[in-house]
Amino acid sequence: MTPNLVYVVVIGVLFAAGVSMVLERSLTRVLMGMILLGNGVNLLILLGGKAGTPPIVGLGPDEEMADPLPQIMILTAIVITLGMTAFLLALAYRSWAMSGHDEVQDDVEDQRIMLLAERDEGSGTDDTDHHEAAR
């Protein structure tokens, strides 16, 4: 079975657009990227099965039936993506309500190291017994 070129191009575009959106800082854009990626994957799974008549016994000859398994997997994946979209939206909304923006922020560690670098200090260990003795 040779895959349909239109499908292949659409999947490629969906993946590319999704990846570039996921790299954004704003959680809403990341969410849209995730939706695009999810749709790309769904199409990719669809491409893996045979196309044909509806897979119901009695509607046509068995050999011409479409492969139902990828379609079932896509249904499951769609349900999961739906739930995740709702959760991410809630997360973005909560983030906006708490801090006025929905940007994904830096790691605590990164922030601490950047602060230390600005002040031009090393990452001091906290063995204060020695410091106190030296004083």
Contacting residues toward other proteins, per CB under 8 A: 22, 27, 30, 34, 37-38, 41, 44-45, 47-49, 69-70, 73, 76-77, 80, 83-84, 87-88, 91-92, 94-95, 98-99, 104-105, 107-109, 123, 125-129
Nearer to other proteins, 59 or 101 (CB): 101
Alpha-carbon span 79 to 77, nearest angstrom: 5
Contact 85, 34 (CB under 8 A): yes
- Helices and strands in the chain, H and E counts: 5, 0
Q: Give the nearer residue to other proteins in terms of CB position, either 107 or 118.
A: 107
Enter the DSSP assignment of 4: P
* Least distance CB 128 / other proteins (angstroms): 5
CB 48 to other proteins: min, Å: 3
Tokens of 89: 């939206």
Euclidean distance between CA atoms 115 and 118, whole angstroms = 5
Q: To the nearest whole angstrom, how small is the minimum distance from the Cβ of residue 35 to other proteins?
A: 10
